[in-house]
Structure 1
Amino acid sequence: MLQAPGQALLWGSQDFQHPAATHQILLQDGIRVAYKLERAARRSIGFQVSEHGLSIRAPRGLSMAQLEASIHEKSRWIAQKLQEQRERAGQVQAQRIAWVDGAALPFLGGLLTLHLNLAAPRGGSLLAVGEGAWSLHLPVAANAGAAQVRAGVAAWWLRHARGLFTERLQHYAPQLGVQWRSLRLSNARTRWGSAKSDGSIMLNWRLLHCRLAVLDYVVVHELSHLRVMDHSPRFWAVVAEASPGYAALRAELREHASPLWA
């Protein structure tokens, strides 16, 4: 049953509400969903489930009764995707970094443990202490505030990201027969990289949280754009030259959730 946006509802823990909701519906399994509806000049209904909730784009001439029927047909899929988004958000929240001595950060598919000591080398020191385990020593007081600790880690992280990204670009560019000219770091939440025809590359420093193989896939992806600037079959054939298993790596990247640095 569709309900008007202004009608009062008792929301439970299994219900979902889009922050910009315009309509509400009770699904067949008893889950209430407040969703955002947009009308557009289109022929079919578009369903999208994001971290915000359910958004629907429907043809302007479609009646609410027809829309309701379509929502109920997809009710199981909608509920499943909304729950997956909620679980993913919970995982990200659980990965919020505590900026204290001894904190652990995901790093190249493993864990990096932070050690704060004013006697540490000025630029910081990274030590491999086991398989998938690193120790980062920074010249910051062990009792420093969170903002100071975060700033110290961020400065080291950006330097390390630039150095590693440069190394991987130099490794793969000759294999693909391309030449890159500049590297820019980004902290975008929704884009891992980009490339321009002039040879400039942008890579997200959050890639350091991923496995090296996944990071390398992004490097190969962007370098491949220096040969083919679209995502045609020809482009993916170029990617496969240096990253034969790119499909699995691409899927892994889509499921990756970086920890929150705030």
Structure 2
Amino acid sequence: MPVLPGPPPVEITLRRSARARRFSLRVSRLDGRVTLSLPMGAREAEAMAFVRDQEGWLRQALAGVPQTAVVGLGTLLPVEGRRLTIREGKGRSPRIEDDSLLVPGDPARVAVRVATFLQARARDRLAEACDRHAGALGRPYARLTLRDTRSRWGSCTADGSLMFSWRLILAPPEVLDYVAAHEVAHLAEMNHSPAFWAVVQRLLPGYAAPRRWLKTHGQVLHGFRFGA
């Protein structure tokens, strides 16, 4: 992987594309990954010369990427909108107590145990919300799955399968509820037409505020690393 030297060095992922007609740089707002798209026949030396010409813009864009926090003891982690400090706990399972998330066991496995705890909690909350909204809509969904998606918070397929990012459990409860209502609304309208938004409004009056929160703060939820 080519590297742009400097303080600090920047790794560049090259992506050749038959559709690319020119060089194009992109910086991920989620993790700061830098991708350079280039035509199939372009030489790497030309590509890196383009990167050097764009270095000022590139470093400015990287400076705006939220910092990544590796989850462990002492991490301040939002859970359902509450800021909890991860601390060493006793017993068999992680639990929330006051302003702490207490995690028993090997400190080296704290991140994995926290992720498992959050995923189970996210499934419970999302299943409750989807059952409630689907009941109000009068349209059942086929199944519910969780993933750690980067590009979307949820989706609904033509067969009624719902998928959500489990990181929604890090957001305030009304945000998770909005995403559940949004995807359940697709059971009736597989589009984003005015008719679709009317369904969302019927399921969740006042959805605009949590939708705005997600657009403004959602990327922060991707800033926590729970493993390699």
TM-score, with structure 1 as normaliser = 0.62
Out of 161, 164, 186, the position equivalent to 2:147 is 186
Alignment of 1:1-262 (within 5 A): 11-13=5-7, 16-18=10-12, 20=13, 36=14, 38=16, 40-41=18-19, 46-50=24-28, 51-57=32-38, 77-85=57-65, 88=66, 91-92=67-68, 95-98=69-72, 100=73, 104-113=76-85, 114-118=87-91, 125-127=95-97, 129=98, 133=99, 135-137=100-102, 140=104, 144-232=105-193, 234-241=195-202, 242=204, 243-245=207-209, 246-262=211-227
Bigger relative contact order (CA 8 A; separation at least 6): 2
Displacement after TM superposition at 1:165 (Å): 1.4
Task: Measure how far apart 1:37 and its partner are.
Answer: 6.3
Shift of 1:226: 1.5
Identity %, equivalent residues: 30
Q: 1:14 to 1:233 in 2, by over 3 A?
A: farther
Render the CA deviation track for 1:94-138: whole Å, top value 9, x for unaligned: x2112x4x65432122222344113xxx555434x3xxx4x3445
Q: Following TM superposition, by how much is the alpha carbon of 1:254 offset from its aligned partner in structure 2, in angstroms? A: 3.9
Aligned residues: 215
CA 42–156 in structure 1, closer or farther in 2 if over 3 Å, else same: closer
Which of structures 1 and 2 has the bigger CA Rg? 1
- Indicate conservation of the 8 Å contact 2:25/2:34, yes or no: no
Instruction: Flag the 1:43–1:124 CA change in 2: closer, same or farther, 3 A.
Output: closer
- For residues 208 and 137 of structure 2, what CA distance do their matches in structure 1 show? 13
* 1:260 CA displacement: 0.9
Offset of 1:148 from its aligned partner? 4.5
Q: CA offset at residue 204 of structure 1?
A: 2.1
For residue 236 of structure 1, report the CA deviation from its aligned partner.
4.5
Counterpart Cα distance in 1 of 2:112 and 2:21: 50
Q: Is the 8 A contact 1:41 1:60 kept in 2?
A: no
For structure 2, the residue ranges without an aligned partner over 5 or more in a row are none
Distance 1:152 1:40, change over 3 A: closer
CA distance in structure 2 between the partners assigned to 1:111 and 1:152 by the alignment? 18
Q: Is the 8 A contact 1:39 1:58 kept in 2?
A: yes
Q: Distance in 2 between matches of 1:81 and 1:225?
A: 35
Distance 1:14 1:238 in 2: 49
TM-score, normalised via structure 2 length: 0.69
